[in-house]
Structure 1
Amino acid sequence: MQNINRRQFLTQSAAVSTAATILPRYAVGQSSPSEKLNLAVIGCTNRGGNIGSEAIKNSLTHCVALCDVVPSRAEGLKKKMGGRCDDAIVFEDFREMLSKMGDKIDACTIGVPDHAHFPIAMLAMSMGIHVYVEKPLAHTFEECELLMAAEKKYKVKCQMGNQGHSSGQRLQFQSWVEAGIIKNVRRVDACMNKGRRWHPWGDIKEFPPAEKMPEGMNWDVWAGTAPKHPYNSKYDPGNWRGWYDYGNGAFGDWGPHTLDTVHRFLKLGLPHEIRAEKIEKPNDLIYPHGTTIAFDFAQRGPDMPEMTINWYDGTHNRPPSSHDVKIPSCGKAIFSDDLTFVGGTHSASLSIVGGERQDDVKDSLPKSSASETSTNHMDNFLRAAAGLDPYCNSSFAITGPLTQVFMLGCIAQRLGEDLEFDTETKQITNSVRANELLKGHAPRPGWEAYYELA
């Protein structure tokens, strides 16, 4: 696709944003849609291919487009689908796809590196397209802020891909809070103690040299708004997560699956202090090998006092509470005044493992059947896009502030500094450099206009 200038981009975006206020094709409460949702899958390999194939298989969709910066990956997904999307048109540039087919696409999945979530989602939303964005929501604090504003402005259905938030685990946590089982929480210890892709790289001193790209790769689109370094396999496929320029480390990968219910139902909002208590092998280019980051939250109500989340990543960086409480290598322990809970990630349920009230509450726990209460995350998104469900379980209004907590943690990991955060102005007040990182690097020339669509 030939690059359009900023004036052309904003003119086109203004036109489609008007169309975005039109009511969706299917009215809420309609028993069955007369037509299927026209689906586009953006990112066709690894996690993007997984969520894309799930959407393609759904009875509510007809896949009309596949997009990947390596077109052969899109063709590979098409073959795997066994005839479900044989007529889908393949693109290597999401801008070209939306320029040519935006008026024919109702919903899209976005399963690409963290840094590329924002421009794709923002452009699609501005065209009235419902979006499913794999976690984390975006790459910077500001991008989350803009995506939340765009969700409200364009009135589209938006889902972040933390799949456990449509499971019985979410409903269990919510019901336990509402029943007063979970209350007066003072501390949460959460951990991710598996090895990461960047751990074997050692002490990176500079960006890696150029390597031969996969045949047909559009590296300019892959880089998107981010700095464009020469292609190297330490970026793609999958290795982008370890670089500050492209990923959000262990926080972005596991935080949305571990702390989503804690954040939502304890009404945490944003922390007023973020403390870098341990940084193992700090580096200017890639995430550390292990960190302990603490987040302090203010009181939110009579049963929600001041509390701290302690995050531990690194293969040997275990929470001290794990000596007394058995916490999974990816999971959490929740400490209230008189109960202790342990849980894993995704759809793993909570267990009560200690505390003065343990015997008192064990017979009064809310009873619910997972089969009656949980749903499939992708199905929830597509039903909401079709007007058959009233809302997405992980809308951007819910997952934007959650992701922003992790973005603040990433800044503390990167700088190894304690940060003071003003939750009203949403500014870091004790470090100019840290405050600049709320926005991150300036977008590359030609990619600035996406930040003006909200």
Structure 2
Amino acid sequence: MKITRRNAILTAGAGAAAALLHRPSWSDVVGANEKVNVAWCGVGNRGPRIIENFEKSGIANFVAFCDVDPENKHINGTKEKFPKARIFQDWRKMLDDMDKDIDAVVVLVPDHSHFPITMAAMAAGKHVYTEKPLARTFQEIELMIGAAKRHGVATQMGNQGYSGDNHFQFKALKEAGVMNKVTHVDAYMNKWRRWHPWGDLKAMPTGETAPATMDWDLWHSTTPLHAFSKKFHPGDWRGWYQHGTGCFGDWGAHVLDSIHSFLELGMPEKISATKMVQPNDLIFPLATTINFQFPERNGLPAMDIDWYDGVDNLPPLPAEFAGRELDTKQPGKFIYAGDTVFQGGSHAHTLQALDSEKAKALEEKGIPTKFGTNSDHYENFLLACRGDEETRSPFSVSGPLSQVLALGCLAQRLGGELLFDRETKQITNNAAANALLKDTPRKGWEQYYAL
């Protein structure tokens, strides 16, 4: 049998497979002013729009597109737009056949498939842009953080607001000492979306047939195989424990990213589900409130975060907010920093001090409000592939944030209070929850956990 990347991963021992895959790739010779050869995994739903965002940089050369349904309505337009790019149904074959033609891989597939694609790409020496959150389970994220460090590739998570003004503003506020007294954050996402539309489910849906052009088995990736349903695909996988991370995993990365990074939060020591509406064994609750408690860190005070999701599940409003109306259709947050309360949104939206006098005092301190022209999240990643910049949300930064999201999802799933040991990275008071920090991959997918 010919030794290829794909069958090496599938048949070799972990050490041998990693050694075979981690050989110099074409990306090792990419230099300044060169375009980055990009392979794309997942061209459904938001795929074409994100492709356009990468295209705006002017330095992405799309060499391949991969989708488990290579005839879906989204990819057909992409084929016409990039006629020279090769089309694949199986990402393993794409990585195998196009090794020397790929510098970077974009992973835009359902959450449950992030892990194996990202791990295999990094082991092959490819730079990787993976959507948020990095993966579904704490263990998978831990392995991704370690692999990124070992393989020395550029990595970026798709919390694109982290390259916007919110990032630079929060950094400036922290450096000015304004954010050194944060003791509490209320964050929320209350718009109805696709995380909980099916009521109180008792069993997985059955009775439907997958599209003839789709590889339904491959779609499951490392997770157990089950019957096809439009309640999973296209797009509605987010609300299922097996496949997604619910509202919190979907939006927490856009609301809490700067808070987690610049306040050096790391892992919480306690996570509590203080409210659960219609808990279910298969899908995320209709509404939840989760509390995260963080200890003192590097001179920063102990603090906690309350997360609210579900329609009409709103945080208490600060006294300084009196006379204003909260836009419940948009996600947001209130940050209690000493005697100053800030209100913010998601993504790149900047913070505003609610008290006008305190806002004026901050302005008089000379804290910048304009941050110049910076690369956006997509260009930042491509420039990092060329060695021109460092990514702003590498796995070393976005991984721990994603792990906090994974812990919150466990609390939403199981309820109650979870105690987390920040040193051993184990849940100490709930054996069932601790077991769910990792998944048992289905047969044939174990090797990606050993790369």
How many residues are paired up? 441
The corresponding residue for 1:306 is 302
Correspondence for 1:25 among 20, 26, 29 = 29
Deviation at 1:442, TM superposition (A): 0.7
In the TM superposition, 1:347-426 aligns within 5 A as: 347-354=348-355, 357-370=358-371, 372-389=372-389, 391-426=390-425
Aligned AA for 2:387? Answer: G
CA distance in 2, matches of 1:227, 1:3: 22
1:125 aligns with 2:129: no
The corresponding residue for 1:72 is 71
The corresponding residue for 1:452 is 450
In the TM superposition, 1:19-418 aligns within 5 A as: 19=24, 24-27=28-31, 30=32, 32-33=33-34, 36-73=35-72, 76-77=74-75, 79-80=77-78, 83=81, 85-302=82-299, 304-321=300-317, 325=321, 328-329=327-328, 330-354=331-355, 357-370=358-371, 372-389=372-389, 391-418=390-417
Deviation at 1:414, TM superposition (A): 0.3
Any idea what SS the aligned residue of 1:400 has?
helix
Aligned AA for 2:343? Answer: V
CA distance in 2, matches of 1:60, 1:81: 19
Deviation at 1:182, TM superposition (A): 2.0
Deviation at 1:121, TM superposition (A): 0.4
Aligned AA for 1:449? Answer: Q
Q: 1:364 to 1:409 in 2, by over 3 A?
A: same
CA distance in 2, matches of 1:243, 1:323: 37
Deviation at 1:45, TM superposition (A): 1.3
Aligned AA for 1:388? Answer: D
Any idea what SS the aligned residue of 1:190 has?
strand
Any idea what SS the aligned residue of 2:96 has?
helix
Deviation at 1:381, TM superposition (A): 0.4
Contact 1:137 1:400 in 2 (8 A): yes
Greater CA drift, 95-104 or 114-123 = 95-104
CA distance in 2, matches of 1:81, 1:264: 38
Deviation at 1:52, TM superposition (A): 2.8
CA distance in 2, matches of 1:5, 1:363: 59
Aligned AA for 2:173? Answer: W
Task: Note the residue ranges of structure 2 that are not aligned, 5 or more in a row.
Answer: none
Contact 1:327 1:333 in 2 (8 A): no
Contact 2:248 2:405 in 1 (8 A): yes
Deviation at 1:9, TM superposition (A): 6.8
The corresponding residue for 1:431 is 430
TM-score, structure 2 length as denominator?
A: 0.93
Any idea what SS the aligned residue of 2:200 has?
coil
Contact 1:42 1:110 in 2 (8 A): yes
Q: 1:356 to 1:79 in 2, by over 3 A?
A: closer
Contact 1:38 1:107 in 2 (8 A): yes
Deviation at 1:359, TM superposition (A): 4.8
Aligned AA for 2:170? Answer: F
Contact 1:157 1:392 in 2 (8 A): yes
1:14 aligns with 2:15: no
Any idea what SS the aligned residue of 2:178 has?
coil
CA distance in 2, matches of 1:427, 1:213: 39
Deviation at 1:220, TM superposition (A): 1.1
Contact 1:48 1:112 in 2 (8 A): no
CA distance in 2, matches of 1:240, 1:105: 29
Contact 1:193 1:314 in 2 (8 A): yes
Aligned AA for 1:307? Answer: M
Deviation at 1:395, TM superposition (A): 0.3
Aligned AA for 2:361? Answer: D
TM-score, structure 1 length as denominator?
A: 0.92
Task: Note the residue ranges of structure 1 that are not aligned, 5 or more in a row.
Answer: none
CA distance in 1, matches of 2:80, 2:206: 39
Q: 1:327 to 1:128 in 2, by over 3 A?
A: farther
Any idea what SS the aligned residue of 1:38 has?
strand
CA distance in 2, matches of 1:167, 1:134: 17
Deviation at 1:13, TM superposition (A): 3.5
| Percent of aligned positions that are identical | 45
Deviation at 1:336, TM superposition (A): 1.7
CA distance in 2, matches of 1:78, 1:212: 22
Q: Deviations over 1:79-127 (max 9, x none)?
A: 34764x2111111110111111123210111101000000000000100
CA distance in 2, matches of 1:49, 1:358: 40
Deviation at 1:362, TM superposition (A): 3.6
Q: Deviations over 1:308-353 (max 9, x none)?
A: 0000001110001268636543100000221000000001110000
Contact 1:42 1:48 in 2 (8 A): no
RMSD (CA atoms): 2.1
CA distance in 2, matches of 1:388, 1:62: 17
Contact 1:195 1:314 in 2 (8 A): yes
Aligned AA for 1:15? Answer: L
Any idea what SS the aligned residue of 1:321 has?
coil
CA distance in 2, matches of 1:375, 1:98: 28
Q: 1:444 to 1:382 in 2, by over 3 A?
A: same
